[in-house]
Structure 1
Amino acid sequence: MHIWSLVMALAYIPFLVQGKNRDESTPEIPSSCHQNEFNIQSPEDLENIIDCNILVGNIVISDYNYPIITFSKLEKVLGNLTILKSPELVRIEAPTLEYISSRFILTELTSLSLISFPSIKYINVLDWSILPILSNVHLNHEIQGIESIRVSDTSLTGFSGFIADKLDILDINNNRFLDTIECNVEHIYGKLHIAANAIDVKVSLPKLRQVSNLSINNVERLNLDQLETVDNSLSLSNNYFQQLRFPQLETIGGTLSLLQNEQVNHLEFPSLNEIGGGLMLVNNTKVDKINFFPKLKIIGGALELVGPIKEIVFRQLKLVKGSAIVKSTSQQFDCTKWSTSDILLVVRGGKIECTNYKNEKFTSRTRKEGHSQGLHSNTVALIYRFIL
């Protein structure tokens, strides 16, 4: 298996010169190479466009009944290149293809093992899915213009070498042998989604500063050291890393969820001051002290903490707009003390509830419900320090 590396640049210089500026060496496009859509299902159909250097229109290849597709002379596609639902297809080759103006879509190609586009320099959208034995990809190392990437259900082993400042989507999922994901992107305006790749996958986005939605699962190592802003939600679930650091992260517009990361024992959020949604720390079984939000002031939703919690410290927290719920399995946590502490001054909506290792539950009313009424029957045990 070969590691796939894509190197993306930012600038795109148009290759076609129109009207008066047309170079004399630029050939006219024959009518056979220009139509809204080219539908190809057999080698005979492919033969109709085999002499085209430039194709104007969308190419759709489906139910193709031969193991090899070769674009021997094609240099440019002004439209989409879509190849799908062709279980007999094994190889796709385009030795001279340099440019795909829009989408390069491959899907439901269950026998495809090789893609060779050694001259490709420009792709706008890369969307590959259900290519379960694809392991060999040969692409040019200077691809320009990519705005969106989805790679799902392949046998690729690596995905690295990006030099793209901006993407709309980066979605890498269900690639069972993929153990390296590296990208130098700085802004992702849509979603960043990484999940269900190799168990030991290492993810490094060392220059990422801003992302709209972030969801990362099943990762052994994660580098997001320059991330400053998450516009919506940040979710990390079922990961295998031992350390989690966000040294520059200041704001999260939606919910922060850390769920069932069973190996993590060291967390750092030294700069985070506001969470627009809820804060959920649930079943991170080696995290027993919640003391890694030294500057957090506002939680715009609910606070939910579940696990072997011994201590809770929020030094700057001033406002929780939803409920505050703690469930601790530690005998060292005092629910009675926590439920009647200064948490009552911070929570403005919902309820304050604490359940201890004996499954005894304590609840307190918040200011929104009225002045504190103390505890209802049942109880919760945890040692809670709340420092304002």
Structure 2
Amino acid sequence: MKLKYNIFVLNSLLITSAFASYLLNHELIGKISEAEVIAMSTIPNNQELCHKKNHELNNQDEINILARTCHEVVGNVEILKDYQDKYVDLSDIEKIHGDLSVHDCSQIISLNAPRLDTIGGGIKIKDLTSLVSITVPSLQNVHNIEFVTLPLLKDININRDIEQLDKLIISDTSLQSIESFQNVKKVNTLEINNNRYLANIDLHVDIVNEKLHIYSNADQAQVNFAKLSSTGDLSIRNAGSFNLNNLEYINKSLDIIENSIDQINLTKLKKVVGTVAIIDNDNLKDVNCNNLTHIEGGLLIINNDNLKNMDFLPSIHTIGGAIQIDGTFHKVTFEKLKVIKGGANFRSQSDKFNCTELLEPLMERHVIRGENLTCSSNMKNQSNLNQSNVTKISYNKTKTGKATGMKESMSSQTEITKSDSSAPSTTENSSKTGKVKSKKNSGLKLTSINIYGIGIWFLITFIFFSMF
């Protein structure tokens, strides 16, 4: 009897221990499930914070929340124009898969992004009238850089290893140097204008695909593109000197207008797809384009008062448009010219220019294919040529300067559509949380059933041993 009783006690202890262990196990499971519910309910919130089409920020506190949560931000980051602080500090943000835009914030003094290494779109900072410095020292990957209408901007600290850009625009700043961009080798659009203290523009760019415009910077600005071999539309204005000694191809037009240069050396230039315009360069005395053979557009050489001898195109044999040469020149020669597809207009205020000497060889070789031909000078006893059906080739002086430059630069602004379509919806979040909770509830129901079954088994065992 005593043995049976001991067996009963031992069996009871084992059952009780198993039961206690079961309850403890399920208690821990209950706690883990609760933590999982909390975690799963917060994950969509982080996704919503880090993944938006536009992250619109009103103050530094909102930037801090974004930076602490998201080292990698999907979507555009936009500092709104009613931004309330003087500083923008992106702190721990490393990647932005969109644009970084700051527009129309007159109170911002500095922008700092110490760890930002990638911008999927562009950095666009425009119309910040108090901004003094921009610091993005780790930036390696970016498509567009646009710094426009930042009249107090004096300091840019950007990683100098950037070699390729779609667009680089620096307009209306107080910068004295753009060395941060010195190693850019390939760019589609490059515009540097209206930077009144920028006296030296020295870049190592090799290829500009679409547009290279330099104008209205410091007086007598020195422009150096010594490695440039090919460019799209090229316009240089208001410069004191420029170096384009390696340039071979201009795939659109060439404008050299209103500079204080005394010489132009384009010794390697072979072809210009558009029009060549050399206009209003008062100090220009010498031009060298010895290897230029094709100009597929027109040729305009106008009001260069010190350029007396137009003999700088000895290899040219095709001009696809019209010619207009106007000034105080003494002589014009085209030794190898075979065809001028448009008309021709030569007008000199000099008493040394001889129309007959220029035109007779051209007319004998049937070089001028257009119907319109005029020539005039102040040489005595000369019959000026004026063919019938003359069409005047007019030139309206291009106005440069701050207002025009700003207007051209501002036309490149793009608007960012504001929507949050990519963020997870609240309905989806609540449904996910609901599923987790329902799993937990069914687990608790299962626990209750198991406890009830163990209790019945314990009672049957007790009755069984009591019978002996």
Tell whether the structures are fold-level matches, with TM greater than 0.5. Answer: yes
What is the deviation of 1:139?
1.7
The structure with the greater share of residues assigned to helix is: 2
Q: How far apart are the structure 2 equivalents of 1:341 and 1:119? A: 63
Report what 2:400 is aligned to: none
Matches within 5 A, 1:62-77: 62-63=80-81, 64-77=83-96
Report what 2:378 is aligned to: 357
What is the deviation of 1:364?
4.4
Report what 1:126 is aligned to: 145
Report what 1:84 is aligned to: 103
What is the deviation of 1:55?
1.0
Amino acid of the structure 1 residue aligned with 2:106: P
Deviates more, 1:320-329 or 1:45-54: 45-54
What is the deviation of 1:29?
11
Report what 2:312 is aligned to: 292
Report what 2:209 is aligned to: 189
Report what 2:14 is aligned to: none
Amino acid of the structure 2 residue aligned with 1:56: V
Q: How far apart are the structure 1 equivalents of 2:146 and 2:45? A: 28
1:121-143 alpha-carbon deviations (Å, 9 max, x no partner): 22211011011110111122223
2:65 is aligned with 1:43:
no
Report what 1:100 is aligned to: 119
Q: How far apart are the structure 1 equivalents of 2:126 and 2:335? A: 51
Q: How far apart are the structure 2 equivalents of 1:268 and 1:33? A: 57
Matches within 5 A, 1:211-360: 211-343=231-363, 345-357=366-378
DSSP-derived class of the 2:120 partner? strand
Gaps of 5+ in 1: 1-27, 370-374, 376-388
Gaps of 5+ in 2: 1-43, 391-468
Q: How far apart are the structure 1 equivalents of 2:45 and 2:239? A: 48
The CA RMSD measured in Å over matched residues stands at 2.3
CA contact (8 A) 1:253 1:276 kept: yes
1:221-267 alpha-carbon deviations (Å, 9 max, x no partner): 11111111111111110011111101110111110000001111111
CA contact (8 A) 1:110 1:131 kept: yes
CA contact (8 A) 1:123 1:144 kept: no
Question: Among residues 107, 125, 128, which one is paired with 1:109 in the alignment?
Answer: 128
Structure ID, larger Rg: 2
1:171-223 alpha-carbon deviations (Å, 9 max, x no partner): 11111111111222221110001111111211111111111111111111111
Tell me the TM-score normalized by structure 2: 0.69
CA contact (8 A) 2:60 2:89 kept: no
Question: Among residues 75, 82, 102, which one is paired with 1:57 in the alignment?
Answer: 75
CA contact (8 A) 1:29 1:54 kept: no
CA contact (8 A) 2:308 2:328 kept: yes
Q: How far apart are the structure 2 equivalents of 1:287 and 1:260? A: 11
1:269-292 alpha-carbon deviations (Å, 9 max, x no partner): 010011001111001111011001
Amino acid of the structure 2 residue aligned with 1:249: L
What is the deviation of 1:42?
2.5
Q: How far apart are the structure 1 equivalents of 2:164 and 2:350? A: 53
Q: How far apart are the structure 1 equivalents of 2:108 and 2:383? A: 61
DSSP-derived class of the 2:67 partner? coil
CA contact (8 A) 2:350 2:379 kept: no
Amino acid of the structure 2 residue aligned with 1:264: L
Q: How far apart are the structure 1 equivalents of 2:359 and 2:232? A: 35
Tell me the TM-score normalized by structure 1: 0.83
CA contact (8 A) 2:163 2:185 kept: no
1:43-81 alpha-carbon deviations (Å, 9 max, x no partner): 343243131311111011121222111112111111110
Change (3 A) 1:280 1:174: same
Change (3 A) 1:182 1:213: same
CA contact (8 A) 1:212 1:230 kept: yes
Amino acid of the structure 1 residue aligned with 2:75: G
Matches within 5 A, 1:112-191: 112-160=131-179, 162-191=182-211
Aligned length: 341
Report what 1:19 is aligned to: none
Deviates more, 1:99-108 or 1:179-188: 179-188
Q: How far apart are the structure 1 equivalents of 2:253 and 2:168? A: 20
Q: How far apart are the structure 2 equivalents of 1:350 and 1:233? A: 24
Amino acid of the structure 1 residue aligned with 2:367: V
Q: How far apart are the structure 2 equivalents of 1:337 and 1:164? A: 49
Q: How far apart are the structure 1 equivalents of 2:219 and 2:286? A: 20
Q: How far apart are the structure 2 equivalents of 1:71 and 1:337? A: 70
What is the deviation of 1:145?
4.2
Change (3 A) 1:110 1:350: farther
Residue identity (%): 29
DSSP-derived class of the 1:49 partner? helix
